[in-house]
Structure 1
């Protein structure tokens, strides 16, 4: 019964994986999001996430969690033959 949903689940996995990669690449280690696009981050070693940086960080966590859940559901459907 749930086997018919496997192609849709695979597409959802692909979209989520691309989103995870994009959001991870937007997070530049040791620098703010502004410095990733040419801004200056001189002298800033420790910094709290604010604004867009916090949004990108939280969105990354959400997309990773969604990807994990979709992958587990896909594996369960495939393994059990539902």
Structure 2
């Protein structure tokens, strides 16, 4: 019975995949990886997320978790 839902689940998985990519690319890059190893802008590694940046970060986490759950469900239905 759930086999009939497999094409719909795969479409949802593709949409979530694109959403995850977009939200990851929308996140603001901080000082870069160089500052983590003692670069010129040391001390700016830790930053508080506020406003839209926090929303994008939280939505990224939600979409990644949904994508993982849908992927496991899809793999289970293929068997």
CA RMSD of aligned residues (A): 1.7
- Matched residue count: 68
Does 2:10 match 1:24?
Answer: no
Q: Does 1:73 align with 2:69?
A: no
Q: Which residue does 2:36 correspond to in 1? A: none
Aligned partners of 2:28 and 2:53 also within 8 Å: no
SS of 1:30's equivalent in the other structure is: coil
Aligned to 1:57: 57
Q: Which runs of 5+ in 2 are unaligned?
A: 32-42
Structure 1 residue runs of 4 or more that deviate by more than 6 Å after TM superposition? none
Please give the TM-score of this superposition, normalised by the length of structure 1.
Answer: 0.76
Aligned to 1:7: 7
